[in-house]
Amino acid sequence: MSRNVAIVGATGAVGQELLSILAQRKFPMDSLKLLASKNSAGKKQTFNGKELTIEELTHDSFKGIDIVLSSAGGSISKEFVPSAVKAGAIVIDNTSYFRMDPNVPLVVPEVNPEDIKKNKGIIANPNCTTIIMSLPLFPLYKAFGLQRVTVATYQAASGAGARAMDELARESVAVVEGNEFNRTVFPYQYAFNLFPHNAPFNDGTEAKAKVKAPKGYCEEEWKMVVETRKIFHDDAIRVAPTCVRVPVLRAHSEAINVQFKKKTSVEEIYAVLSKAPNVVILEDPANNRWPMPIDVSGKDPVFVGRIREDLSQENTFDIWVVGDQIRKGAALNAIQIAELL
């Protein structure tokens, strides 16, 4: 079987991470095609010691391609993914456009790998915050059942791409030096500041299913609700998210409050998570040391810690979770799907 792979959005933050992980995991390929906008066409990219030329993305780019890793924005996926499928490729799409399409599986390999078999040419990669939350949440869901989940996210600049990371770095220097700064990515000062997520307050997803977010919820928050239900195959799961941008370059954090159906304990939760795939417990209570973004940056697992009982409600617990948004929250999850394919 040939394995000809194409990356759509090869020059972006996730595209560059895809290249890095493909090399690290020695993904078996016969060829690799790098696709990007017209502005990037002709530029060179080194991969596994070989120099590749970035090509302009067109509707004719997918001839002979078996797997497409797409991460260039919802509008690009809307336009070009159908052409890739028509050409015979299977597309693993990292944008929100197809996620809630009932005919497209939404997959986290540690949770619902069997859904990959249901694909009709497209497999959707979930939102980064959903992926990071699902890794510790799903084994607990299987063990104890979920009554409800309240989650506050602390989202790094990496979630908005390479330009956002660059803007945060440059703005931080400008603020420290007392200089004016003309921001182009974020609407407000991001350095040394935080604000509720600046995702739009319209449709909860860009999907064909046209799922509408309730009043007061931004897209980023509603994605966590509907995507979790779809991945877990349980429409009864209740999730209440609040998404916040924090001035961290890379890796998202989440404070998760979970009420379980079955009676459990802190010790039992630790026991379940200690065996959960791609979950690492990191903590040193004596030194007030818990998972931080710098601990997970560039790493595959999601780190958890600070598990404690919520004394205000019966059978409710708090869990602190940190994961690399570019890696497990995007590129690694897509490549894990490709490996299963």
Q: Do 22 and 112 share a domain, yes or no?
A: yes
Q: Do 227 and 104 share a domain, yes or no?
A: no
Residue 46's domain is classified under what CATH number?
3.40.50.720
User: How many of the other CB atoms lie within 10 Å of CB of 3?
Assistant: 15
220 conformational bin, left if phi > 0, alpha if psi -120 to 50, beta if neither: alpha
Share of residues in the chain with pLDDT > 90 (%):
88
Length of the chain: 341
Task: Please say if the pLDDT value at position 285 is more than 50.
Answer: yes
Q: How confident is the model at residue 1 (pLDDT cuts 50, 70, 90)?
A: low
pLDDT at site 211: 55
Q: Residue 341 has which token pair?
A: 């394919």
Q: What are the tens digits of pLDDT across the range 102-150?
A: 999 999 999 999 999 999 999 999 999 999 999 999 999 999 999 999 9
Least confident residue range of 14-28, 192-206, 254-268, 305-319: 192-206
The distance from CA 314 to its chain's CA centroid, rounded to whole angstroms, is 31
CA–CA separation, 211 vs 191, rounded Å?
Answer: 33
| Whether residue 252 lies in the annotated active site | yes
Name the active-site residue from 197, 218, 243, 252: 252
Task: Please say if the pLDDT value at position 76 is more than 90.
Answer: yes
Q: What are the tens digits of pLDDT across the range 321-335?
A: 999 999 999 999 999
Q: Which residues pair with 148 in a beta bridge?
A: 259
| Whether residue 197 lies in the annotated active site | no
Q: Do 312 and 176 share a domain, yes or no?
A: yes
First-to-final CA distance of the chain:
12
pLDDT at site 210: 47
Q: Do 279 and 258 share a domain, yes or no?
A: yes
pLDDT at site 214: 83
Q: Do 304 and 164 share a domain, yes or no?
A: yes
pLDDT at site 204: 40
Domain count, the chain: 2
pLDDT at site 2: 61
Q: Do 176 and 284 share a domain, yes or no?
A: yes
Q: Do 141 and 113 share a domain, yes or no?
A: no
For all residues of the chain together, what is the average pLDDT? 94
Q: Return the ∠ at Cα 95 (arms to 162 and 100), rounded to 5°.
A: 155
CB crowding 158-183: b at 16 or more within 10 Å, else e: bbbbbebbebbeebbebbeeeeeeeb
Task: Please say if the pLDDT value at position 213 is more than 90.
Answer: no
pLDDT at site 175: 97
Q: What are the tens digits of pLDDT across the range 170-204?
A: 999 999 999 999 999 998 999 999 999 877 776 44
pTM of the model: 0.93
Name the active-site residue from 128, 197, 218, 243: 128
Domain that holds residue 335: 4-125+331-340
Q: Do 22 and 170 share a domain, yes or no?
A: no
Q: Do 256 and 159 share a domain, yes or no?
A: yes
Q: Do 141 and 114 share a domain, yes or no?
A: no
Residue 256's domain is classified under what CATH number?
3.30.360.10
Q: How confident is the model at residue 71 (pLDDT cuts 50, 70, 90)?
A: very high
CA–CA separation, 213 vs 70, rounded Å?
Answer: 25
Q: Do 34 and 103 share a domain, yes or no?
A: yes
Q: Do 238 and 302 share a domain, yes or no?
A: yes
